[in-house]
Amino acid sequence: MTEKEEEARLDMIETENLTRKFGDLTAVDNLTLRVDEGEVFGFLGPNGAGKTTTVRMLCCLISKTSGSARVGEFDVGKEEDALKIRRIVGFVPDNVGLYDSLTAYENLDYYGTLYRRTDSQRKESNEYFLKMLGLWEKRDTMAGTFSKGMKQKLAIARALVHDPEVIFMDEPTANLDPEASKGVREFILELKREKKTIFLNTHNLDEAERVCDRIGIMNTKLMAVGTPEELERSVRGRRTEIQLRQVTDAILDSLKKLKLRNLVREGNKLTVDVVNPEEENPDMVSAIVGAGGRVESVTVAGSTLEDAYLKLVRDAP
């Protein structure tokens, strides 16, 4: 992204020292972060980490204890801004809360009416989202007969009927089978292509890595923020593993002349920390071959998002 493009992006969500207490329990502790317009931001953390509490504050469903937050141009905590925030956000809760006695179409139409959408607007959006989520053929079926995956898709459609600028999703694939989860992830990516801002609560590491531009790791406090790649490198950088037919003293002496970082020998395998393997690996292979060595394989490895997540959560005070 160019400098001009970076400047053009707006902070759609911004918090500073946002805190929520329930009696003596601090659920969210001095949270400071920003989410760009059009970004898919993942909020990772274990159960009880404060993810849902954060979203409920940002959606003006519960009050904050202290600190500040803004969604779009409106301030969380200002009574006159609360309704304005609710008009520009969509919320997919962990409990879908549909009207089981209404059809899929009637559920969407009811919520569209609450948002004062016109008849034509409701008709257009209802059909659009039901088709996009593969529910159009079930539009006249009672929601109470739907599977968990179908209900979750309908809840996502319901959150979008008023064309919100920001969409909050709280564990949207929890308890879903792999096929239903895949469908929800694909829809999130479709929303991303439409430049919607998405705030995704999850403890599914694979899901976060697949769909999120950046990830915040939360455990009451915000432990770290970055792209999946940045978080992975924060635990341990990249390393090259070289499997040899045989490691000799001549090979080790030749490699030491390259002033490598953290050269480790394990039998006939050598591991070296690298910054730019594309440039460093050829020099190492050349040194090995020049010393009479035979290379069987060269592999570039690095820490995973799971490594970063577990380290940060376990290190939390």
**pLDDT tens track for 177-201:** 888 888 888 888 988 998 999 999 9
Tell me the mean pLDDT in the region 157-175.
90
Would you say residue 2 has pLDDT above 70?
Answer: no
Beta strands in the chain (DSSP E): 11-22, 25-36, 40-44, 66-71, 74-75, 89-92, 166-170, 197-202, 214-219, 221-226, 239-244, 261-266, 269-273, 295-301
Would you say residue 1 has pLDDT above 60?
Answer: no
* Domain presence at residue 310: no
Q: Which pLDDT belongs to residue 317?
A: 62
Tokens standing for residue 65: 């204890």
Distance CA 171, CA 201 (A): 5
Lowest model confidence (mean pLDDT) among 132-146, 173-187, 237-251: 173-187
Share of the chain above pLDDT 70, in %: 95
Q: Which pLDDT belongs to residue 298?
A: 95
Tokens standing for residue 256: 């030491």
Q: Mean pLDDT for the chain? A: 90
Q: Which pLDDT belongs to residue 95?
A: 84
CB environment 11-30: b (16+ within 10 A), e (fewer): ebbbbeebbbeeeeeebbbe
Lowest model confidence (mean pLDDT) among 43-57, 217-231, 296-310: 296-310
CATH of residue 61: 3.40.50.300
* Domain presence at residue 316: no
Q: Are residues 119 and 242 in the same domain?
A: no
Distance CA 107, CA 224 (A): 39
Distance CA 187, CA 258 (A): 49
**Structural domain span for residue 181:** 3-233
* Domain presence at residue 279: yes
Q: Are residues 210 and 177 in the same domain?
A: yes
* Domain presence at residue 309: no
Distance of CA 92 to the CA centre of its chain: 15
Q: Which pLDDT belongs to residue 204?
A: 86
Dihedral sign (CA 140, 141, 143, 148): negative
Q: Are residues 177 and 208 in the same domain?
A: yes
Tell me the mean pLDDT in the region 71-90.
94
Lowest model confidence (mean pLDDT) among 92-106, 144-158, 232-246: 232-246
The widest CA-to-CA distance across the chain, in whole angstroms, is 81
Q: Are residues 54 and 193 in the same domain?
A: yes
* Domain presence at residue 154: yes
pLDDT band at 4 (very low <50, low <70, confident <90, very high): very low
Q: Which pLDDT belongs to residue 9?
A: 53
* Domain presence at residue 284: yes
Tell me the mean pLDDT in the region 171-182.
83
Pairing of strands 89-92, 166-170: parallel
Q: Are residues 188 and 87 in the same domain?
A: yes
Q: Are 98 and 158 in contact (CB under 8 A)?
A: yes
Q: Which pLDDT belongs to residue 236?
A: 65
Would you say residue 233 has pLDDT above 80?
Answer: no
* Domain presence at residue 317: no
Q: Which pLDDT belongs to residue 7?
A: 45
Which of 193, 217, 233 corresponds to the end of one domain?
Answer: 233
* Domain presence at residue 98: yes
27 DSSP assignment: E
Which of 208, 233, 258 corresponds to the end of one domain?
Answer: 233
Tell me the mean pLDDT in the region 48-65.
95
Tokens standing for residue 230: 């940045």
Q: What are phi and psi of 67, to 5 degrees?
A: 85, -170
In sequence order, the 6+-apart residues with CB closer than 8 A to the CB of 315 are 223
Distance CA 312, CA 11 (A): 26
Would you say residue 6 has pLDDT above 90?
Answer: no
Residue pLDDT, tens place only, 120-130: 999 999 999 99
Which of 177, 211, 233 corresponds to the end of one domain?
Answer: 233
Q: Are residues 54 and 114 in the same domain?
A: yes
Q: Are residues 64 and 173 in the same domain?
A: yes
What is the DSSP track for 91-158? EE-SS----TTSBHHHHHHHHHHHTT--HHHHHHHHHHHHHHTT-GGGTTSBGGGS-HHHHHHHHHHH
Distance CA 195, CA 9 (A): 11
Distance CA 309, CA 286 (A): 37
Q: Are residues 224 and 254 in the same domain?
A: no
User: What is the total count of domains within the chain?
Assistant: 2
Q: Are residues 155 and 195 in the same domain?
A: yes
CATH of residue 273: 3.30.70.100
Q: Are 200 and 211 in contact (CB under 8 A)?
A: yes
Q: Are residues 154 and 49 in the same domain?
A: yes
Q: Are residues 248 and 152 in the same domain?
A: no
Lowest model confidence (mean pLDDT) among 18-22, 62-66, 183-187, 248-252: 183-187
Q: Are residues 37 and 143 in the same domain?
A: yes
Select from 168, 156, 190, 36 the least CA-distant residue to 89. 168
Q: Which pLDDT belongs to residue 257?
A: 93
